[in-house]
Amino acid sequence: MRSSYPHSRPGGRLAATAVLVGALLTGSACAVGPAPGQPAAEVAVPVGTAAPLPAGTPAGPGAPAAVPEVLRFTGKTLDGAAFSAATLAGRPVVLWFWAPWCATCASQAWSVAEIAPNYRDTVPIVGVAGLGEQQAMKDFVTEFDLAGTPQLDDRAGALWRRFEIVEQSTFLIIDRDGKVVHQGFLDGEELTRRVAALAG
């Protein structure tokens, strides 16, 4: 059985919540492969989890880049720090959606831990942890030495729904113009190649 967060649909919030709770309470094997669809323009986001930022919010002091729709969200890291994707505007970004019990995610974690520090300023890699308990997510980060890379706590599934992620492990690559250029599975070698190309 495949674990997934339900997509947000008008009038279906109660059903979506019921399915999400069921997915979080039942474990299943890792599923990999491309996840169809682009980020939704209108997203139902729990308050304090990943609230969208106002359109046109600047990327921060000294960074005049306009913030594209795809990067207009906030959240919290697994260690409780506030996170705003707006600070990434103007650069390519990789979002990595993972679950702490997923064997495929574990095999990819070594690659992420190895390459992320080298591209922190040019192609940030941001983990989005879901489908698990917070302590298990923290243990995963510790075990695979991912503390140097932002890891968002998405237990509520807000970002998984926003980006229509239906499988783990999924990499979502956004170019410097805010366009999603890849959404799906990548092995370590292909991830390294793509990140290096974006940095060049």
Local structure of residue 3 (DSSP, 8 states): -
Place of tokens 């709770």: 21
Is 77 within a domain?
A: yes
Give the pLDDT of the chain (200 residues) as one tens digit per residue.
Answer: 344 444 333 344 333 333 333 333 334 445 443 333 333 323 333 333 344 444 444 444 554 578 999 999 999 999 999 999 999 999 999 999 999 999 999 999 999 999 999 999 999 999 999 999 999 999 999 999 998 899 999 999 999 999 999 999 999 999 999 999 999 999 999 999 999 999 98
Question: 149 is in which domain, residue-wise?
Answer: 13-199
Task: Count Cβ atoms below 10 Å from residue 41 Cβ, excluding itself.
Answer: 9
Any idea what the CATH number is for the domain that residue 104 is in?
3.40.30.10
Residue 80 lies in a domain: yes
Encoded tokens for 53: 């930022």
Number of domains within the chain = 1
Alpha-carbon distance of 140 to 133, in angstroms, equals 11
Residue 8 lies in a domain: no
